[in-house]
Homo-oligomer: A and B are copies of this chain.
């Protein structure tokens, strides 16, 4: 077999890896007893990668180009990919995030044909001035949808206010103005820079045979010459840009996002740091925490409340988010609780409960092919063991978490983003 068996230490099972002759890195995680398969192929090209060096040349592309390119690849010359997948019975999709673009499908039958469609899709760029222009209406509509979405706006406004220079402060889809500048040449430039198979990863999980995946790759993939593409990021100071930002939107209850900015460098956070942060947030404000119950009983939050850790090259932040009757008050209560947390640390009991909840969540996600494949592809992009976290979870201590806390949740370096009701209107 041309694939190397790797061990998922946490659950004592094997998965498989090889770099295919074409350049593509391939991971296959077979699930015994499963009937369905999930496959995802992606490249580390998202909205933040708008400036890069390709073959020694500096390139800057309009905001929203990565997302635009995803749309144009998904719609092929032979009609769109949805229609092709409908013939094989697969369910397909694609998404662009801040730092990746991924194309995926799930199926129970005719896996070989669906994987063939996926390979064709990412290998057949076809952009003309007409086809590029035609997409502007559809993406413009999508941008408008996001512009109107309070959930999305509260987060994007937060990032915009927190980050002074880093392109994480810009919308993934760009704006109607920036996408108007996109040309076939720009799309080809990005395609050639980032969609080279040496920059891409395929992950398959569920009912899967590594040999079958390789056979289809052999048949479908055209060998690529490696290219050098390096993304460029501006320097970002530690301090938040603004401490407050608000927008009025047609909502029936105000929303808030409170973001604590953290020092971020040119590297990704370590596995240990990520695990400690997860435990910290679960213990501090998870749905079984005393703080959560207290906020719920006082009606300052409802079930939309949640926490998130955002992290990538040059950005790291903890975000608390949700609907609230009183954004300012909720922010104050949270900051006060953070100050107490810095003084008292988290208790052994809260640590144990949080670790158990997180372990349960991680273990359950191992039964979901899409979770495992997503985890593998993100690990591959970051050069990280995708299954290290659940092992790490067993070895960290409450002291590690309290140590990690020192770098996080600085109540003097945070931003409050508020979505207000449009004034004087929302009376039910």
Indicate with 1 or 0, residue by residue over A408-428, a CB within 8 angstroms of chain B CB atoms: 000000000000011001101
- Check B357–A89 contact: CB distance below 8 A: yes
- Check B287–A250 contact: CB distance below 8 A: no
- Check B35–A32 contact: CB distance below 8 A: no
A405 sits at the interface (CB 8 A): no
- Check A364–B36 contact: CB distance below 8 A: yes
From 280 to 335 in chain A, residues with beta carbon under 8 angstroms from any chain B beta carbon are 287-288, 293, 296, 299, 302, 323
Report the bound CA distance from A50 to B62 in whole Å. 58
- Best-buried of A31, A86, A91, A361 by chain B (most CB within 10 Å): A86
- Check B206–A302 contact: CB distance below 8 A: no
A353 sits at the interface (CB 8 A): yes
Interface 9-mer from A141-149, A154-162, A186-194, A212-220? A141-149
- Check A107–B364 contact: CB distance below 8 A: yes
- Check A364–B288 contact: CB distance below 8 A: no
Per the CB 8 Å criterion, the residue count for chain A at the interface is: 59
Report the bound CA distance from A201 to B161 in whole Å. 52
A251 sits at the interface (CB 8 A): yes
Across-interface contacts of A364 in B (CB, < 8 A): 35-36, 91, 106-108
- Check A145–B253 contact: CB distance below 8 A: yes
- Check A142–B302 contact: CB distance below 8 A: yes
- Check A250–B421 contact: CB distance below 8 A: yes
The 23 sampled A-B contact pairs (Cβ below 8 Å) are A11-B35, A31-B33, A33-B34, A35-B364, A35-B366, A36-B366, A83-B288, A86-B288, A87-B353, A88-B356, A89-B357, A89-B359, A90-B360, A91-B357, A91-B360, A91-B364, A107-B360, A108-B366, A145-B323, A250-B426, A367-B369, A368-B368, A422-B426
Minimal beta-carbon separation of A391 from chain B (angstroms): 15
- Check A35–B363 contact: CB distance below 8 A: yes
- Check B82–A287 contact: CB distance below 8 A: yes
Minimal beta-carbon separation of A53 from chain B (angstroms): 35
Report the bound CA distance from A151 to B305 in whole Å. 19
Minimal beta-carbon separation of A390 from chain B (angstroms): 10
- Check B109–A363 contact: CB distance below 8 A: yes
